Amino acid sequence: MIKQLRVEPGGKFRIAKVDAGSTAGWKGGKAKTIQRLQDLSERLRALQQRFWAENRRKVLVVLQGMDTSGKDGTISHVFLGVNPLGVKVAAFKAPSQEELAHDFLWRVHPKVPAAGEIAIFNRSHYEAVLVERVHELVPRKVWKARYAQINDFERLLAETGTTVLKFFLHIDRDEQRKRLQERLEDPEKSWKFRPDDLIDRKRWDDFMAAYEEALNRTSTAFAPWYVVPANKKWYRNLAIATALVHTLEALDPHPPPPPKELHDIRIE
């Protein structure tokens, strides 16, 4: 499943060729899907506990996508039950005046994971080549230079012990319309609705072009992008949980051995 979703380096990926309603690589029915999600959740919980106890390496999970693509839902469902001491979430909204007075990565670096941590970026440094590009908040020559700067930043993270996983949650325009309408009509969700969501929706094609270039320019061997069809929320969760479990299994974390002085202790 995961290999099918990976954007290989080389600059040939096209978003239009990906069906946002696809369940690529999964043929299970409802019961099998529910069981698989439960199994992945338990496995992720155990692996994350070992990773936290090992206290040596780091994992960064980047979640990007259009409004209503499911960034919050992914965090709520995929990371349900993990040890909150070892997982932190950073949300990147419009930069403050202080942040604008620095380079675009200044606000990002303090949020990357420390040893033993999994950090989740709900939006990220990629806003600098998406929103700022589409809304012409910076000149073209500025955002064009940022692809190389982002690659250098992520290379630094990788070379200093951080595994970087980047997920583009891909919904289509019709699915976004349905979700925005549901959000507007649901008293429990209407607080999340912003009129700016409709402004961005009008620029859908511009955003897809911006995402496509970002994916092609910044999917690398050390920080790959995965395009996750996200019209079906259960598949989105299944795909991302699978990628995380496979990543942590490959890292094979082990808690440190107990100190020698504990060997002779007997609890009476």
Chain segment 158-175, per-residue pLDDT in tens:
999 999 999 999 999 999
pLDDT score at 30:
84
Residue 140 lies in a domain: yes
180 neighbors 201 (Cβ within 8 angstroms): yes
- Which 3-state string (H, E, C) describes 65-84? ECCCCCHHHHHHHHCCCCCH
- Indicate which CATH number applies to the domain containing 226: 3.40.50.300
- Give percent of the chain with pLDDT exceeding 70: 100
Tokens in use for 76? 């709520």
Number of separate domains in the chain: 1
The rounded distance, in Å, linking the Cα atoms of 66 and 138 is 20
Q: Confirm whether 193 is domain-assigned.
A: no
Task: Identify the residue with better confidence: 245 or 268.
Answer: 245
Instruction: Measure Cα distances from 42 to 32, 105, 168 in Å.
Output: 15, 35, 24
User: What range does the domain containing 151 cover?
Assistant: 2-173+202-253
Question: pLDDT tier at 194 (50, 70, 90 boundaries)?
Answer: confident
Which strand (E) or helix (H) includes residue 137?
none
Q: How confident is the model at residue 260 (pLDDT cuts 50, 70, 90)?
A: confident
Residue 167 within any structural domain of the chain: yes
Look up the pTM and report it. Answer: 0.94
What are 45-81's pLDDT values in tens digits?
999 999 999 999 999 999 999 999 999 999 999 999 8
The pLDDT of residue 268 is above 90: no
